[in-house]
Amino acid sequence: MRRRVSCRTYDGRVPDEKAKERLRIFFRENTRGPFGNVLRFDLVDLTEAERGELKALGTYGVIRGASLFIAGAVRKGVRAMEDYGYGMERNILLVTSLDLGTCWLGGTLNRAGFARKIGLTPDELMPAISPVGYPAGKRSLTDRAFRFMANSDRRKPWEELFFDEKPGNPLVKEQAGNPGEALESVRMGPSASNRQPWRVVREGKSFHFFLQRTPGYDRITGEIRLQEVDMGIAICHFELAAMEMGLAGSWRQMKFLFDAGMLEYVVSWADHS
């Protein structure tokens, strides 16, 4: 999680068949998110003509030197975006462990051959894709400009993201104990335009996850709500870090005693042992 950075410039080499097969095996197992939505992922090779079409798709056109992509689909439904973000981030972390680069590309992606190549159906959505390849030795000027505009190397401080017992009461990192590492993993997660919309409230042994929406942010993407995808990424990071540290718990819907204000409740990690 700490090593992974967005890579928009690749050296043109394609990962070998061993790496591709490892990813495909993982995709066959990575088929369900914590909210129960069914996911499917695949590796997509773009032809030269399709790569040319990709360049016309605004933000996606800044990708240079990559022809291999992870694409996926989730059926439209409650918490579908969160589950897709959770599953896709698991894929991306595996790619990172193989010393390959990735870049979250979210939004409307029914062009450039992706929908056709994965057989996207009318009741499915493809919220995001990612290139997969070897990072170039030097970032392009466009790549550096996008990182600067998105503040990609900056993260909000703890006191803006994590709270103790109720929103607005900052959780001091030094007092968070072992769960603090899991929360730090959430803080380091990628998000659309680096908005970092997740907020977490510790209440006893439970950690309640909330979404703080940016007004109007998801309007242009319609059914694909990127900040909900971001919440899935946060949930993925917390779960994987918690498991690594032996932090007991599971995801569930819970009631809490405080007023959440404008925050939208998503899910809680709770230890009832």
28-54 pLDDT per residue, tens: 999 999 999 999 999 999 877 777 666
In terms of C-beta density within 10 A (0-12 exposed, 13-18 middle, 19 or more buried), how is residue 166 classed? middle
- pTM (two decimals): 0.91
The pairing of strands 162-164 and 198-203 is parallel
Domain around 237: 158-270
Residue 83's CATH number: 3.40.109.10
**pLDDT for the residue 90:** 98
226-246 pLDDT per residue, tens: 999 999 999 999 999 999 999
In terms of C-beta density within 10 A (0-12 exposed, 13-18 middle, 19 or more buried), how is residue 193 classed? middle
**pLDDT for the residue 57:** 56
Is the residue at 7 inside a domain? no
Domain-terminating residue out of 142, 172, 193: 142
> For the chain, how many structural domains are there in total?
2
Is the residue at 152 inside a domain? no
